[in-house]
Structure 1
Amino acid sequence: MDVTVMNGTGEEAQAASAPAATAGPARRILALYLLLGFSAGLPFYMFNAVLTLRLARHGVDIVVIGFFAWVALLPTFKFAWAPLLDRYDIPGFSRFFGRRRGWIMLSQLGIFTAMVAMALTSGDTSLPLTALFAILLAFWTTTLEVAADGWRIELAPTQAEQGPVVAANLWGYRGAMVAAGSGAVFAAARLDWTWAYLIIAIAAFLPFPILAAMRPDPEARGRRSAALAGGLATSAAILTLSALATAAVGWGVLAAAAGAGFSSKTNVTPVVLGIAMLPFAALAIALPRIRRLPAGADRSMNGLVAPYVELFWRYGYTVLPVLAFVSFYRMGDVLTLTLSHPLWNAAGYSLEQISMADGAVALVCSMAGVALGGLLAARLPLVAALAIGAVASAISNWIFVWLWWQEPSSAVLYISAGIDQFGHGFAGAIFVVYLSMLVSPRYPGTQYAFLSGFAFLLPRLLAGAAGAIQTRIGYDGFFMLSGSLSLAAVVFLPVIARARARRTEVPEGEEA
């Protein structure tokens, strides 16, 4: 098995699936997804948990800190640009390294430049500027995940094959999150926040030369040096344009919000819940027409809409409870990530203590949770595994209620962090396998991007209101509520268990 499968073409997928069918995913694929998980996990923590802690240490109001959680909404809408990654190449990079690797390399450059910009503005004297670079970091991190996810599903199409690959990917992802959280907080404690972001930016960029050194695409044209030069030039132009476009859109949004009287004192919870209901209402209106389409109708549609029509056609009205289920399942994980670090700060824990909780403790417990979750997802019926994961996720939130009422001590902090990381790692591994089983082999990247993005729409919308909710019910009330919402996903499991997709009747051999 050769690592040149990274271009994601059908030929490489077939080459990978042959040994996987008899001996499981090849070791090199597992190693590769460990690397890709690492690449995405490092920056994710830096625009999420580490940023909320940084803002809290700078005395930013808890409600405003909650608003910064909306930066993480960007991955929710990755389905909007996911089709572009399936249709277009990155000039220079893709010509030599293949389409999938080309997008990943561009994304890594975007991650590096955005994180350096966050380092240079680490004083947070201009919160709009902080938000701009955080959004750019979120965008390029998400783009990397989209490219990697589509390829993963092509290489491991069955439930049994997905388990090990997902576990390897999440080991890398959560391991990197732990390294980012622990390393950045420790660096901030000993140096400052600028150095914290610069160190993680360099670490996040390390996979780039590894990807560039791998064997080229079988259909590669030109020389490696020319491909790198052309890709870097193209990337510079794309990164500049994306930054300018993001700044323009952000300025417009802030101006509109100010004109509407929106501020940190506005009760945003009802608005958030109303927005969250809009996709369900729109889908309910569109479903009758989609269901009446003939089998295979998506083949004659525009490539930007065909993946979604095919998904809704296969599941019909069942897609509504499925989407409701996925919206609740990761609720606890998202809400914990939003306010756990401000809670630790408010409880009086030092940066050194938080660094240890985010480091060795979180790493060991997260890896154990991911490993056990991946194992159960491959061995148990998915519905049973999902039920166990929902309970584990709820407990992972409720442990913070216990922490809040204890006298601050390292033992209390480490126990709560360990249980949190184990439970959410466990539930996360099962959830990724479940989503991967919902997609069509014709549109793996786009459909997975939609499902995984939609799963975090409601949680991340509510996360933006987390600060406002906390001011009304306190930290203990907030984490009791977030755990209960995560457990509420089990209500949908009886419907999920009976969900059956319609078979798409197409001639044999046309699925590729």
Structure 2
Amino acid sequence: MTASAIDAAGAPGAGASPSDQGAPAAQPSRRRLLGLYLLLGFAAGLPFYMFNAVLTLRLSRHGVDIVIIGFFAWIALLPTFKFAWAPLVERYDVPGFARFWGRRRGWIMLSQLGIFLSMVAMAFTSNDESLPLTALFAILLAFWTTTLEVAADGWRIELAPTQAEQAPIVAANLWGYRSAMVAAGSGAILVAAWADWTVAYLVIALAAFAPFPLLAAMRPEQMGTRGRGRALATGIAASLAILSAVALITALAGAALLSAAQGAGLSAKTNVTPIVLGVALLPFAALALALPRINRLPAGAHANISAFAAPYVELFWRYGYAMLAVLAFVSLYRMGDVLTLTLSHPLWNEAGYSLEQIGVADGVVALSASMAGVALGGWLSTRMSLGWTLAIGAVTAAAGNWIYIWLWHSDPSPFVLYTSVAVDQFGNGYAGAVFVVYLSMLVSPNYPGAQYALLSGFAFLLPRLLAGASGSMQTAIGYDGFFLLSGALSFAAIFLLPLIVRVKARVPA
């Protein structure tokens, strides 16, 4: 089902756009859809590493203080709050693009332009002489990367509403995403070593922009729609205006925030983790406190609520108090994977492995094992109940954490390193695939992008906050204690599964 068809069926919208007129175009074939989401996953995975792991390495090479680098790591929290602007993606069209390609593809194309220009800006400020400027472009890159994911997730759920249809598309998307992680994590660093950081960011920017011309060449949203060239020119012009406005608003907000932080006496020596945690939990706590009132609402009452709140009120109304168990489950399920990603590389380095061995482990071994895990997770999701596939995922994710205890206590050898990474990445890939399918089955077809953004954002909120304190945790309990704990947190999700599998959505009478 297309976005236009959903709007015509009565989903909240900003009014019928020209693309809502006439007969819908045929959906892409399954093979083309898999190829498209493979490419979209690749395009989303590349920029994530460029404002995250690669940026922190770039800053450290320029001698930036480790505490300041830690502050830059908080940029990875931005995707957690994608629910704040996801309703805009659900409700409004991008001028020009939407008239020809529809709402979802319009937002994907706008996001592609945002990613490309943000990364080009990061390339030409790669000397990091102005850290506020570096932070501005990194935040913009994170924002547009996340917006791309919101639009692509919403389109995916609309095109494939059942579990059996979702699984292969999810697998293709994750294959692309994890391939991009290797390309950005190792490829960009190698390019920077051969040339410089400017060239590295430009190369990745061009690679991340690859889906744009393919999307522009696709069929229109509605059969008989004409004026591809005009729609493209109008869309690019409107996109440049939107991108400029977002950049200006972000710059002004950032300046105000820095001024407020300095006025409050915050500095690089201040422990901001409790402050960030408190602020991050506020919107979710507000939703939980509102549950009793939401639960008493009559069916369809969310349609009379503001466009921002309607998707989330509808989600909490359908699941009621069971939503608290769902949120607890999703916050635990990927905990071990996020924590392991934070300290696995320092562990390998301290265990005595060479850069060449780490490069092989982080490249060929990690990619092949991860893809195998994604493939198995996607395949089993079409043949088993989600309860069983999620349980297997919790076990494999925990094993991927615990195997690093064996590595830490073993003499350095390629076999130990490659085996450990393969087990870790296989479990990570499998758990990631079944988890995406599970979240996709929770959302309403009327609000797929916004509701998926809320659930997936919450899933990584607590893990990414704790990851910021992972160094302190390792200092207190050692590497073996850290990976024992991270694996136990992932495994703990299995104890919530008896509740999760019994959760049923309320159906309006």
> Within 2, Cα distance between the matches of 1:221 and 1:26?
23
> Within 1, Cα distance between the matches of 2:328 and 2:193?
41
Return closer, same or farther for 1:46/1:356 CA change in 2, 3 Å cut-off: farther
Q: 1:114 aligns with which of 118, 128, 133?
A: 118
> Within 1, Cα distance between the matches of 2:223 and 2:484?
55
Q: CA deviation at 1:210?
A: 1.3
Number of residue equivalences: 494
Q: CA deviation at 1:477?
A: 4.2
Q: 1:316 aligns with which of 310, 317, 320?
A: 320
Which string of whole-angstrom CA distances, capped at 9 and with x for unpartnered residues, describes residues 120-163 of structure 1?
A: 23333433332222211111111111111111111111111111
Which string of whole-angstrom CA distances, capped at 9 and with x for unpartnered residues, describes residues 387-408 of structure 1?
A: 2212222232334444455565
Could you say which residue in structure 2 is the equivalent of 1:498?
A: 502
Could you say which residue in structure 2 is the equivalent of 1:135?
A: 139
Return closer, same or farther for 1:259/1:481 CA change in 2, 3 Å cut-off: farther
Q: What is the correspondence of 1:234-273 to structure 2 with a 5 Å cutoff?
A: 234-273=238-277
Structure 2 residues without counterparts, runs of 5 or longer: 9-22
1:184 aligns with 2:188: yes
> Within 1, Cα distance between the matches of 2:463 and 2:144?
21
Could you say which residue in structure 1 is the equivalent of 2:205?
A: 201
Could you say which residue in structure 1 is the equivalent of 2:173?
A: 169
> Within 2, Cα distance between the matches of 1:403 and 1:232?
51
Amino acid at match of 1:216: P
Could you say which residue in structure 2 is the equivalent of 1:464?
A: 468
1:29 aligns with 2:38: no
CA contact (8 A) 1:185 1:355 kept: no
> Within 1, Cα distance between the matches of 2:280 and 2:482?
19
Q: CA deviation at 1:53?
A: 3.2
Q: 2:426 aligns with which of 422, 444, 449?
A: 422
Amino acid at match of 1:504: P
CA contact (8 A) 1:328 1:489 kept: yes
Amino acid at match of 1:117: A
Which string of whole-angstrom CA distances, capped at 9 and with x for unpartnered residues, describes residues 452-495 of structure 1?
A: 11211212222333344445545554444333322222232222
1:392 aligns with 2:385: no
Q: CA deviation at 1:437?
A: 0.9
Q: What is the correspondence of 1:300-311 to structure 2 with a 5 Å cutoff?
A: 300-311=304-315
Return closer, same or farther for 1:486/1:14 CA change in 2, 3 Å cut-off: farther
Aligned partner of residue 89 in structure 1, secondary structure: coil
| Stretch moving more, 97-106 or 60-69 | 60-69
Amino acid at match of 1:52: T
> Within 2, Cα distance between the matches of 1:472 and 1:58?
29
> Within 2, Cα distance between the matches of 1:262 and 1:474?
30
Could you say which residue in structure 1 is the equivalent of 2:378?
A: 374
Q: What is the correspondence of 1:400-439 to structure 2 with a 5 Å cutoff?
A: 400-404=404-408, 410-439=414-443
CA contact (8 A) 2:39 2:211 kept: yes
* Aligned-residue CA RMSD (Å): 2.7
Aligned partner of residue 445 in structure 2, secondary structure: coil
CA contact (8 A) 1:186 1:355 kept: no
> Within 2, Cα distance between the matches of 1:297 and 1:303?
12
Could you say which residue in structure 1 is the equivalent of 2:155?
A: 151
**TM-score after normalising by structure 2:** 0.89
Could you say which residue in structure 1 is the equivalent of 2:290?
A: 286
Q: CA deviation at 1:14?
A: 9.9
Return closer, same or farther for 1:353/1:108 CA change in 2, 3 Å cut-off: farther
Could you say which residue in structure 2 is the equivalent of 1:39?
A: 43
Amino acid at match of 1:218: Q
> Within 2, Cα distance between the matches of 1:487 and 1:52?
30
**TM-score after normalising by structure 1:** 0.88
| Stretch moving more, 58-67 or 182-191 | 58-67
Could you say which residue in structure 1 is the equivalent of 2:330?
A: 326
Return closer, same or farther for 1:58/1:409 CA change in 2, 3 Å cut-off: farther
> Within 1, Cα distance between the matches of 2:60 and 2:413?
20
Which string of whole-angstrom CA distances, capped at 9 and with x for unpartnered residues, describes residues 25-73 of structure 1?
A: 7222212211211221111122222223333444545444333232111
Could you say which residue in structure 1 is the equivalent of 2:230?
A: 226
Q: 2:83 aligns with which of 66, 72, 79?
A: 79
CA contact (8 A) 2:2 2:159 kept: no
CA contact (8 A) 2:330 2:459 kept: yes
1:297 aligns with 2:301: yes
> Within 1, Cα distance between the matches of 2:451 and 2:270?
36
Amino acid at match of 2:180: A
